[in-house]
Chain A
């Protein structure tokens, strides 16, 4: 069974903290993604990576960074968490082939207080 695993389902952090969200996939996928999900806005792409150590900005990268040191792991970093980063964060992975299905983790609901 294919799997994308996010390290936490729920997180509560304080304003100004540095926050790490971890994602691991076991499908040997080249592509990995971080999306943010907010009510009425759907999912928006924060960052993606198409190879180890490669990263590209998505639609809303401000306030975030990422790290991909190994193929199976993609980390989202909030350098200094703010209350407007309270949201659901979804990690996904897919193979390099065109029109390929994206597989998602179960999401991390982050609350910044």
Chain B
């Protein structure tokens, strides 16, 4: 079974600075999908970014980008120019199939003004 590990329970960053959230996973598949979801205090989970394993290029969505290292099974999220609205719980997730996701433990991100 696939597993996802987020080793940073909490992270903090100053507004306008850059922060990187770590995620590692374990799988025997060669083609798969990875996601980062954000859960703000409102509890509404929002998709931040997705990566397809067969694509060499790292995904980017505005201030959010990933560092996808397939051989190392690492999938970190970089947030540039951090904003107060980025404060949330962030979950890394592996797409299992049939729409199912396996989630990591989550990282709480605090943004200091």
What is the interface of chain A, defined by CB distance below 8 A to chain B? 31, 33, 35, 40-45, 48, 50, 56, 58, 88, 90, 92, 94-96, 98-102, 104, 106-107
What is the interface of chain B, defined by CB distance below 8 A to chain A? 4, 6, 9, 33, 35, 42-45, 47, 50, 52, 91, 95, 98-106
Interface centre among B33, B104, B105 (most CB of A within 10 A): B105
Once A40-B105, A99-B33, A101-B50 are accepted as A-B contacts, the answer to whether A48 and B100 lie under 8 Å apart by CB is yes
Q: How far is the CB of A2 from chain B (nearest CB, A)?
A: 11
A102 and B101 contact, CB distance less than 8 A: yes
A-side contacts of B44, CB under 8 Å = 104, 106
A-side contacts of B52, CB under 8 Å = 99
B-side contacts of A104, CB under 8 Å = 44-45
CA distance A104 to B100 in the complex (A): 13
Once A33-B100, A50-B99 are accepted as A-B contacts, the answer to whether A101 and B105 lie under 8 Å apart by CB is no
Q: A40-B105, A43-B103, A102-B99 are in contact. List 11 more A-B contacts (CB 8 A).
A: A31-B98, A41-B105, A45-B101, A92-B45, A99-B33, A99-B50, A99-B52, A101-B50, A102-B45, A104-B45, A106-B42
Which listed residue (B42, B50, B99, B103) contacts A94, Cβ 8 A?
B99
The 8 A-B residue pairs with the shortest CB-CB distance in the complex, in nearest-first order: A104-B45, A31-B99, A94-B99, A42-B103, A43-B103, A107-B43, A42-B105, A99-B33
